[in-house]
Structure 1
Amino acid sequence: MNTIAVRVAVADAIAQDIRLLRLEPQDGTSLPNWNPGSHIDLHLGQGITRQYSLCGPHGDTSGYQVAVKLEPTSRGGSKFVHESLEIGSELRISAPRNHFEMSANAGHTLLVAGGIGITPIISMARALGAKQQQFELLYFSRSDRHAAFRDELEAGPLQASCRLLFGLEHDAVEEVLESALNDRYEDSHLYLCGPKAFMDTVRAVADRCGWPEDAVHLEYFAGADPTDQGTQTSFDVKLARSGKVLTIPADKTIVDMLRVEGVEVETSCEQGVCGTCVTRVLDGVPEHHDCFLTAQEQRQGDCMAVCISRSKSKLLVLDL
C-alpha cells in the first residue's frame, strides 16, 4: 500500500485525554482530497497501524487533522500518539478512505456522536452547515471536560443545530434518543459513531422508532470490541480465481493464511471495524464477527470481513 510521508505541525490537547494532531506533507505538496466521514491510517512504527477519522476543515489539502483519545486499555496506538508524537515528528499515513459517506439525497440528517465518535460527525456537520442543509447533531459526552470541539459546537456557526448532553445515565440517553428519533422526516438519514455499547443503544432505539435499516449509517471507531467470536474451529477457503484451497486453523484468520500463501488483500484495522478487507463470498456461509457490515448485509451472506470473520460451513469460496 502506498503511504504519504507527513510531519506533525500541531499537537494540542482539545479536551481531557483528547489530542488534536495536524499532519502536513513533508514534501510540501497537496494531500489527496477527502469527504466527510473519511479516515486515514497512521503508521506509528513497531508494526502499529491505527485508523483515525479526519476532523479538520473540509477542502483543506495542506494538512489533515485527527483527534485521538488516550484509551485506558490502549494496545499501543493512542498511548504512542499522546506520549511520543510532538511537533516535528515524522510518520507515514495512508490516503483517505471513506466507508461512512453521507447520502446526497437526504431530506433531513440526524447526527449522533458518543465521546470520541464526534470526530467523523463534526466534519459532516460542518459540510451540512456550509450547504445550509437541515440537520440536527446530538453529542453525548461524559462531561464538558471530555467534549472535543466544545467551543465550536456551543458558540460557533453550528450552535443552532447542536445539542451537547453531558453525563446522562442510560435511561436518560434513551429518552433523548426516542424524542429525536420518534418523528422521522421523509428521506431522513441517521449517522452515528461512538463506543459499541452506545451505538447498540442508538440502533435499538432507531429500530423501535421504525427507522429503516438503509437510513441508519454507522462507523465504529478503531478499538471498539468486535463481536464475541466464541469457540473457533478450522475450515477451508477456496480461492475462486486460482482454485487453491487453504485450511484456516482455529487460531488463525483468513488474512493470516492468505499472507502465508502470498495472496495480497488490502487490510487496515484488522479488527472488523473499518471494512477495508471486505471480500465477496461466492459459496458457503460466513460467520460474521465484524462491526462494519449491516445486519442486512450479514444476513445476505455474499460478503465478509476476512480479517476477523470465519465460516459456519466447512468450505467458503471467496472471490480472490
Structure 2
Amino acid sequence: MIEAKILKRETQTRDIIVLDLVATNGAPLPAFEAGAHIDVEIEPGLTRQYSLCSDPADLGHYRIGVLKDPKSRGGSVKLHELFAEGKTIRIGTPRNLFPLDESAPESILIGGGIGITPMIAMAHHLHAKGKPFALHYCAREKATTAFLVELANAPFADKVHLHFDSGEGTACFDAACDLPDPSMGAHVYTCGPEGFMSYMHGLAEARGYAPETLHQEFFSAEVDNTGGSFEVELAQSGKTITVQEGQSIVAALAEIGVKVEVSCEQGICGTCLCDVLEGEPDHRDSFLTDEEKADNDQIMLCCSRAKSPKLVLDL
C-alpha cells in the first residue's frame, strides 16, 4: 500500500467527486497503463477499487472519480463523507484488468456515466501515441455529468462525442453511425453499469463485431450464493469445511480461522483468486476469461461455488 494525500477534492455533480492524489513523500507515483485501477482503503477493513482517469504520462498525481451510489454496499457513501482535501489515505499500486489492444487500427471508447473514468486515461494514451480513436460519453443529462470541462479542454477534445438521454448535445449513441465497419479491425471498449455494457455489446455484435474485439470492465456485479452446500479441503493445512447455501467460501474459511484477502467481494478484482487442485468450480465471477474458467484450475473465493461435491484448494 502507498501512503497518499488528497491534494484536491472537487464536487463536479451532486453525486460525483473527483480526487487528485499525490504521494505523501513527494515522490512520483508508480507507473500505470491506461485502463488500470487502484485499491483505495476507505477505512480499516473496507477497500474499494477505482479506475484511474488521469494521464498515464503524468505520475505526479493520480485522479479518480467516485459516484455516491445509494445502492452500493456503503463504500462510496463513506468515501464521500470521510475523504476531505488534505486527508492522508492508503492506496494500492495500479492493476490493469482492462488493457488496450494497441495492435488494433482504431479504438472506440464508450463510457456510461462514471464508467467514463478509465476511458479518459485511454484517450490520453492513444492521443499521445497518435493512434486513431473516438471517445463516446453516454449519460442521462448534462447537469449530472462529470468531467465535461476537462474533456472540452483536453488535447483530444475533437475525438469526444457526448450522448445524453435528455436529448441535449449530440444524438443518442447509434451503432450504425458511431461504430466503424467491423471489417476495418476496430476494437470496442465499454465501461459502466452492467445493463449499459450488455446493451452496447449487443449493438456491436449485431453490427458484426467479433467477441475478441469487444472489451469491458465491471464496476459492480450481483453476487449469487444460491446452490447446495459443498465441502472444501485445504491441501496445505489439511483443514476441511462445509460451505453452506447462501455462504461464500471466504466466509466459511473464516469460521476455521483461515483468513483470505479480499477487496471487491464481487468477483471483479481478482484479489481472492486461488488455485483448484481437485473438483469442478461453479464460476460466478467477472474476472476470469471464458477460457480460464473452462480450465477449472482457479476460483474466485468471494463469489464462486462448486459443481462437484468437493473442492481441494491450494491453501
- Calculate the TM-score normalised by the size of structure 1: 0.87
What is the match of residue 310 of structure 1? 305
Cα distance, 1:266 vs structure 2: 4.2
Code of the residue aligned with 2:210 in structure 1: it is: P
Cα distance, 1:237 vs structure 2: 2.4
What is the match of residue 290 of structure 1? 285
- 8 Å contact from structure 2 (residues 175, 207) kept in 1: no
Cα distance, 1:235 vs structure 2: 0.8
Cα distance, 1:14 vs structure 2: 2.3
SS, match of residue 92 in structure 1: strand
Cα distance, 1:241 vs structure 2: 4.8
- 8 Å contact from structure 2 (residues 13, 145) kept in 1: yes
* Runs of 5+ consecutive residues of structure 2 not aligned to the other structure: none
How many Å separate the matches in 2 of 1:208 and 1:148?
A: 30
What is the match of residue 196 of structure 1? 194
Q: Deviations over 1:267-298 (max 9, x none)?
A: 32111122332334444332222233344544
Q: How does 1:130-169 map to 2 (within 5 A)?
A: 130-167=128-165
- 8 Å contact from structure 1 (residues 288, 304) kept in 2: yes
Q: How does 1:84-233 map to 2 (within 5 A)?
A: 84-167=82-165, 176-181=174-179, 183-221=181-219, 224-226=220-222, 229=224, 231-233=226-228
Q: Which one of the candidate residues 239, 245, 254 is aligned to 1:250?
A: 245
Code of the residue aligned with 1:135 in structure 2: it is: F
Question: Kindly tell me: are residues 275 and 114 of structure 1, through their superposed partners in 2, closer, same or farther at Cα, counting changes over 3 Å?
Answer: same
SS, match of residue 152 in structure 1: helix
- Calculate the TM-score normalised by the size of structure 2: 0.88
- 8 Å contact from structure 1 (residues 12, 19) kept in 2: yes
Equivalenced residue count is: 312
How many Å separate the matches in 1 of 2:230 and 2:217?
A: 29
How many Å separate the matches in 1 of 2:18 and 2:164?
A: 21
How many Å separate the matches in 2 of 1:148 and 1:165?
A: 13
Q: Which one of the candidate residues 76, 79, 83 is aligned to 1:78?
A: 76
How many Å separate the matches in 1 of 2:294 and 2:204?
A: 19
Q: Deviations over 1:294-316 (max 9, x none)?
A: 44544554433221111122122
How many Å separate the matches in 1 of 2:64 and 2:306?
A: 36
How many Å separate the matches in 2 of 1:275 and 1:178?
A: 35
Question: Kindly tell me: are residues 60 and 154 of structure 1, through their superposed partners in 2, closer, same or farther at Cα, counting changes over 3 Å?
Answer: closer
What is the match of residue 4 of structure 1? 2
Q: Does 1:271 align with 2:299?
A: no
Q: Deviations over 1:78-129 (max 9, x none)?
A: 2222222211112211111111111131121111110000011110011001
